[in-house]
Amino acid sequence: MTGRIRPPAMVREHSPDRWRRGTCWLWCGRDDLPVQWLGTVEHGPVRVSLTACRECTHLLTERVHATALARRPS
């Protein structure tokens, strides 16, 4: 077993059918670029799709790995 945590398939797989043109809801906030659906965000009665571009998805994956590894017992 390696020290890396394997991200979920929807983040791992970069097949073309998983990417659609849209808005990145993460850090860059850019519009009209290839984005991938990451999940649903809820705020009260409102539900919207959370989508992110390749760069922000990569950054999110790296942050998740760093946080999870930091929490592992030595």
> Which one-letter DSSP state was computed for residue 54?
H
Instruction: Assess if residue 2 is contained within a domain.
Output: no
Instruction: Assess if residue 12 is contained within a domain.
Output: no
Instruction: Assess if residue 45 is contained within a domain.
Output: yes
Residue 73 — very low, low, confident or very high, per pLDDT cuts 50/70/90? Answer: confident
* pTM to 2 decimal places: 0.69
Interval 21-56: pLDDT, tens: 999 999 999 999 999 998 899 999 999 989 999 999
- Total domains, the chain: 1
Instruction: Assess if residue 3 is contained within a domain.
Output: no
Instruction: Assess if residue 11 is contained within a domain.
Output: no
Sort residue 32 into left (φ over 0), alpha (ψ -120 to 50) or beta. Answer: left
Contact 36, 51 (CB under 8 A): yes
